[in-house]
Amino acid sequence: MPDQTLAPSKLTRDDGTTIAYHHTPGKSPGVMFLTGFKSDMMGGKALAIEAHCMAHGLAFTRFDYYGHGQSSGAFEDGTIGRWAEDAVMVLDQVTTGPQILVGSSMGGWIMLLAALARPDRVAGLLGIAAAPDFTRDLIPPALTPGQLADLDSQGFCEIPNCYDDQQPYVIRKSLLDEGDNHLLLGGEIALDLPVRLIHGLLDEDVPWKTALTIMDRLKSDDVEVNFVKTGDHRLSEPHDISRLMRTFDALLEATASAD
C-alpha cells in the first residue's frame, strides 16, 4: 500500500510556483492520475489505483494542480489551461515512456488535453465521469440570476460545495472565459488510442450523455463506455473501485495489444 505520510516531491514552474507530486518507479506503461475540480492527489481513487499499480510493478504518478492540495497558488486563480500545463509538465519531467492517463471528472478533460499535447507519450485513457467543456456546458447554465450578476459586477461568484463542509467554491469569470480556449466537444478529438469511460447514470454533476459525446468525438474506434445504473458522480464506493480496477486491467491489456 502507498505510504500516505511521505512528503511530496516538487516541480518548480518558470513563475516560481510549485507542483506537488508522488512518483513510484516501475514498469511501462506508467500510469498517471489526474484529479477533479478542487480535488487532490490524496483521494480514494488515486490511492487505490496507486496501490494496484504498485502490486503489479507499474510506474505510477499522481500530482496536485496549481491551487490544489499541496501545490502552491490559490485555487481561485487557476484555469483549465494552467492546470493542463501542469499535467503536461509532470508528464514531461516526472514520467518516462508510454503512459496511461486516468482522469476523474475535470481530470477527464485535462487528460484529453494532455494527450493531445503529447500524443506520442500516451498509450491509453481512462475517464471516470469525465467532464470536458464543463466551464461552458455545465457551470453557466446552473448559475442563478444573482450569481450571473455577481460574475458581471465583481468578476466572480460563489457556488455551494455539496461534497463536504468546506467553504463554497469561488468561480471566477476568468475561469469560464479561459476555458473557451480549450473546448473539445464541438469537433473531432484527434486521438487514436484505446479509451475507456465509466459514468454513473445518477451523476448529478456531469450528465451521462457526456460520455457518449466524448465517444462520438474521438477519432479512435477503440472506445468503450461503461454506464453504472446506480452510480453517482464520485464513483468511489468499494464496488465502484473494484469496477475501476477491472476496467483499468482491461485497458492495460488493450494497450499491449495496440503496440
- Look up the pTM and report it: 0.95
**Catalytic site residue from 64, 86, 203, 205:** 203
Question: For the residues 50-68, what does the mean pLDDT come to?
Answer: 97
The number of C-alpha atoms within 13 Å of 172 and in the hemisphere containing its C-beta is 11
For residue 236, indicate whether it is catalytic: no
pLDDT of residue 68: 96
The pLDDT-based confidence of 165 (bands split at 50, 70, 90) is low
**Catalytic site residue from 68, 105, 137, 199:** 105
Percent of the chain with pLDDT over 70: 96
For residue 71, indicate whether it is catalytic: no
Please say if the pLDDT value at position 162 is more than 90: no
Question: For the residues 71-98, what does the mean pLDDT come to?
Answer: 97
pLDDT of residue 230: 96
Please say if the pLDDT value at position 1 is more than 60: no
**Catalytic site residue from 71, 182, 233, 240:** 233
Torsion of Cα atoms, 236 then 238 then 244 then 249, to 10°: 150
Q: Quick check: bond before 29 cis, omega within 30?
A: yes
82 burial level (CB within 10 Å; 0-12, 13-18, 19+): middle
pLDDT of residue 168: 86
Question: For the residues 177-196, what does the mean pLDDT come to?
Answer: 98
- CA-CA distance, 110 to 120, in Å (whole number)? 16
pLDDT of residue 4: 67
Q: All domains of the chain, ordered by start, with CATH? A: 9-132+191-253 (3.40.50.1820), 133-182 (no CATH)
Please say if the pLDDT value at position 207 is more than 80: yes
pLDDT of residue 238: 96
The pLDDT-based confidence of 257 (bands split at 50, 70, 90) is confident
Please say if the pLDDT value at position 163 is more than 70: no
For residue 233, indicate whether it is catalytic: yes
